[in-house]
A = this chain, B = another copy of it.
Amino acid sequence: MPKTHRFSIRTRLSYQLGEEGWLLLNLAAIETPAQKILSESIRNNRGIAFRKHAVQKNTTRFHGIAAPAGLLDISYEAEVERRISGFSEPESCPESPLIDLPHEVVRFLYPSRYCESDKLVRMAAKKFGDLQPGHERVAGICNWIYLNIDYRPGITDAHTSAVECLTLRAGVCRDFAHLGVTFCRAMGIPARYCSGYAYRLPLPDFHAFFEVWLGGRWCYYDATRLAPQHGFILVGSGHDAADTSVATMSSSVQLESMEIAVDKLTPGAVDFASVPVAF
């Protein structure tokens, strides 16, 4: 297994602005210990300078842009190196006593807009309470979601929460990630939602997965099994899709089209993860 992979990302988003408007974009890969940005560019067809918002280490970057009415094409291109960064042993990534959690991790214990973990405490305890704490429990949560929720576009939408997805028993990657986050928080495990790119996703699009605080770091999981985790590129993490959306925009802005391509620049297979991995 190669120790690193290099990927190219090419994203093109076309927006139509009915009048002067603005966008806050959240589509650029971030720099992490396991993810190195070798080159990167973000451009638009109007020659407008982007406002770069302060970058918090290992979390979300925003590119802001205000533009006049008309067509606004955004293109983002990057070359990213991923280092495979799993724990050698699942046993080495235990859950942390809550009282020992770092201050900035505590807030990922709490329910959020699309992850109503307060409602699933009893169900999570019944389903996952007997599993070994740590990686085994989180892997059990992912397996349960994979086996019980149908991956089916068109049933849920941008307002669907984890509990609604659980009731409907269907959803897309966004819903699978919300449900994983929700079950983890319901078990007292800090968890956050991630958006990013994925190599070999069946239909090229943004992808969603989630991170769990195990062994003192954020390890990521994906209950969809749609693409190998070692080919994920992290863009942003947050409470849920509410604060990691690709674009927040003023009311006159409409997405017209989107193209995404993720290619591999190095030889060798990209694997599904069998042990906890971190960015």
Distance in Å from the Cβ of A111 to the closest Cβ of chain B? 4
Known interface pairs A238-B107, A248-B109. Does A99 touch B243 (Cβ–Cβ under 8 Å)? Answer: no
User: Is A99 in contact with B24, judged by CB distance below 8 angstroms?
Assistant: yes
A169 on the B face (CB < 8 A): yes
* Shortest Cβ distance from residue A57 to the other chain B in the assembled complex, whole angstroms: 12
Q: Indicate whether A126 sits within 8 Å of B148 (C-beta atoms), given known contacts A111-B113, A112-B239.
A: yes
B159 to A54, Cβ gap below 8 A? no
Tell yes or no: A106 within 8 A of B by CB.
yes
Alpha-carbon distance A53/B119, docked complex (angstroms): 27
Question: Out of B53, B104, B113, B123, which one reaches A110, CB within 8 Å?
Answer: B113
B243 near A107 (CB under 8 angstroms)? Answer: yes
A160-177 vs B, CB cutoff 8 Å, 1 = contact: the mask equals 000100111110000000
The answer to the question of A122 belonging to the interface, with a C-beta cut-off of 8 Å to chain B, is yes
CA distance A22 to B99 in the complex (A): 7
In the complex with contacts A167-B166, A243-B107, A51-B99 CB distance below 8 A: yes
Secondary structure at the A interface, as helix, strand, loop or mixed, is mixed
Total identical chains: 4
Are the C-beta atoms of A99 and B64 separated by less than 8 Å?
yes
A150: Cβ under 8 A from any B Cβ? yes
A238 cross-chain contacts in B, Cβ below 8 A: 107
Interface string of A82-106 (1 = CB under 8 A from B): 0000000000000001111011101
Interface presence of A226 (CB below 8 A): no
Return the chain B residue nearest A102 by Cβ.
B54
Known A-B contacts A107-B243, A113-B111, A126-B148; A22 and B167 likewise in contact (beta carbons under 8 Å): no
**Does B24 lie within 8 Å of A98, measured CB to CB?**
yes
Shortest beta-carbon distance, A148 to chain B, in Å? 7
Task: For A263, list chain B residues within 8 Å (CB).
Answer: none
A120 at the interface (CB under 8 A from B): yes
Alpha-carbon separation in the docked complex, A54 to B110 (Å)? 18
Q: How far is the CB of A34 from chain B (nearest CB, A)?
A: 23
Contact check, B168 vs A122: say whether CB atoms are below 8 A apart: yes
Known: A54-B103, A110-B113. 9 other contacts (CB 8 A): A22-B99, A53-B102, A98-B250, A107-B243, A111-B113, A113-B115, A119-B168, A122-B169, A122-B170
A-side interface residues toward B, CB under 8 Å?
22, 24, 51, 53-56, 62, 64-66, 97-100, 102-104, 106-107, 109-113, 115-116, 118-120, 122-123, 126, 148, 150, 159, 163, 166-170, 238-239, 242-243, 248, 250
* 11 chain-A/chain-B pairs, Cβ below 8 angstroms: A62-B103, A65-B99, A66-B97, A98-B250, A110-B243, A112-B112, A112-B239, A112-B242, A119-B167, A119-B168, A123-B167
